[in-house]
């Protein structure tokens, strides 16, 4: 590796917020820290590194709000060395920045998703971008676990365009996921929440023949409640998924899989950290939004979790960013820390939530950096980013 240049795909997709004066803050740097072991290994081996990563969903357009610049700064603080930054991924200037790197030097490329080709459905677009990126390095190392389920240029085509290796984070993630899939100790409970309703509803069908119980909270639960005939007021709702949900519920019944739904929820009149009230699921007011599972439900979920030997959790139970709606997530996290067996928390926001609520990484069996990626692995899907590295 000495004197070689490595293009390292990392997952640096960290949650951001703004301070009072409008500066961007990194709310949870877990994914940056999780990338350090591979970066350090490469530096110790005498190579230079070009890091490629994405942030959010800029949809192929430059967007100052989603620049990786603040990430370069944090990375530099953690590594205690300079991290250079390339504004434009494919420019000749970036090529010379890469060429000039000496052993132990790091260049971070701007958000790769500013390039429309990164996520293009057209394989030729992606290949063209991969070819431009490939000239920046001698080797490719895939360590962006949170993106391995995406057939994107920097995840799939680029890995194939250069001699490649699997990064330490991806290897660690996969070894935990193997424990969750090859003969997991039972009862096996999966807890799902969060905001990406349609992404996650699809997942459940595929998990039904693998687990004993699925507990559902977060934004997606209102589509379930609606399917069961409850009114959900102004809560997140996906009418087009109602049919899927009904079929999930009947399949679960046939397979003997328990689906745990909340019996009470915390609602508020507006999407803000104020005026919470607890109502039973039969009494959600038409003009209110469900923002957390209620205390009775949290207790029920906790009991199911604590009596399990294997638990995988993805997606906060409520809008934990608001302290009035964080209690469901806290109770579920607490229950996971008491599991006598393997407990895994997955997902960028879920990991941020448990840290924000004051839990330590060591309270859990493993905190995965991937939400969607972990779920797709558990479903038994083939992940493009892993296939390319095989």
Residues with catalytic function: 31, 196, 348, 372
Which residues in the 325-364 window bind ligand ADP by CB under 6 A? Answer: 347-350
Annotate each residue in 294-333 with x if it binds Mg ion (CB under 5 A) or - if it does not, as one string: ----------------------------------------
In whole angstroms, the minimum distance from the beta carbon of 218 to Mg ion comes to: 11
Q: Residue 387 and residue 390: Cα distance in Å, rounded?
A: 5
Q: Is 219 an interacting residue with respect to ligand ADP (CB under 6 A)?
A: yes
Q: Which does 304 bind (CB under 5 to 8 A by kind): Mg ion, ligand ADP, none?
A: none
Instruction: State which of residues 16, 79, 195, 309 lies at the interface with ligand ADP (CB under 6 A).
Output: 195
Q: Residue 120 and residue 127: Cα distance in Å, rounded?
A: 10
Which residue is at the shortest CB distance from ligand ADP?
Answer: 347
In whole angstroms, the minimum distance from the beta carbon of 149 to ligand ADP comes to: 12
Residue 236 or residue 249: which is nearer to ligand ADP going by CB? 236
Annotate each residue in 39-78 with x if it binds Mg ion (CB under 5 A) or - if it does not, as one string: ----------------------------------------
Q: Is 365 an interacting residue with respect to ligand ADP (CB under 6 A)?
A: no
Residue 28 or residue 349: which is nearer to Mg ion going by CB? 349
Q: Is 196 an interacting residue with respect to ligand ADP (CB under 6 A)?
A: yes
Q: Is 349 an interacting residue with respect to Mg ion (CB under 5 A)?
A: yes
Q: Is 294 an interacting residue with respect to ligand ADP (CB under 6 A)?
A: no
Q: Is 28 an interacting residue with respect to Mg ion (CB under 5 A)?
A: no
In whole angstroms, the minimum distance from the beta carbon of 355 to ligand ADP comes to: 12
Q: Is 184 an interacting residue with respect to ligand ADP (CB under 6 A)?
A: no
Which chain residues interact with ligand ADP by CB under 6 A? Answer: 193-196, 218-219, 236, 290-291, 314-316, 318-319, 321, 347-350, 371
Which chain residues interact with Mg ion by CB under 5 A? Answer: 348-349
């Amino acid at each position: 590796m000495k004197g070689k240049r490595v293009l390292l795909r990392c997952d640096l997709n960290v949650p951001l917020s703004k301070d009072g004066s409008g500066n961007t803050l990194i709310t949870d740097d877990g994914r940056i820290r999780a990338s350090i072991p591979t970066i350090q290994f490469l530096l110790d081996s005498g190579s230079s590194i070009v890091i490629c990563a994405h942030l959010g969903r800029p949809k192929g357009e430059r967007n100052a709000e989603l620049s990786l610049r603040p990430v370069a700064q944090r990375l530099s603080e953690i590594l205690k060395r300079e991290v250079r930054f390339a504004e434009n991924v494919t420019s000749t200037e970036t090529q010379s920045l890469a060429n000039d790197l000496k052993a132990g030097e790091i260049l971070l490329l701007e958000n790769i998703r500013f390039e429309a080709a990164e996520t293009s459905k057209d394989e030729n677009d992606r290949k063209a971008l991969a070819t431009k990126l490939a000239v920046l390095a001698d080797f490719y190392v895939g360590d962006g676990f949170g993106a391995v389920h995406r057939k994107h240029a920097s995840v799939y085509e680029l890995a194939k365009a250069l001699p490649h290796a699997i990064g330490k984070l991806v290897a660690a993630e996969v070894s935990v996921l193997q424990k969750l899939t090859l003969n997991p100790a039972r009862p096996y409970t999966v807890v799902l929440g969060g905001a990406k309703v349609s992404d996650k509803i699809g997942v459940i069908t595929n998990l039904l023949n693998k687990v004993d119980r699925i507990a559902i909270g977060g934004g997606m639960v209102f589509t379930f409640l609606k399917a069961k005939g409850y009114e959900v007021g102004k809560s997140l709702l996906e009418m087009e998924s109602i049919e899927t949900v009904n079929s999930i519920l009947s399949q679960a019944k046939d397979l003997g899989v328990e689906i745990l739904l909340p019996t009470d929820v915390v609602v508020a009149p507006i999407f803000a950290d104020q005026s919470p009230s607890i109502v039973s699921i039969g009494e959600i007011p038409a003009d209110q939004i469900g923002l957390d599972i209620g205390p009775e439900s949290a207790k029920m979920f906790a009991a199911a979790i604590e009596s399990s030997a294997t638990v995988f959790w993805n997606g906060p139970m409520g809008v934990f960013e608001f302290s009035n709606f964080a209690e469901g997530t806290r109770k579920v996290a607490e229950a996971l820390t008491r599991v006598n067996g393997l407990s895994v928390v997955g997902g960028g926001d879920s990991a941020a939530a448990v840290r924000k609520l004051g839990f330590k990484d060591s309270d859990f069996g493993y905190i995965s950096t991937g939400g969607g990626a972990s779920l797709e692995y558990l479903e038994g899907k083939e992940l493009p980013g892993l296939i390319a590295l095989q």
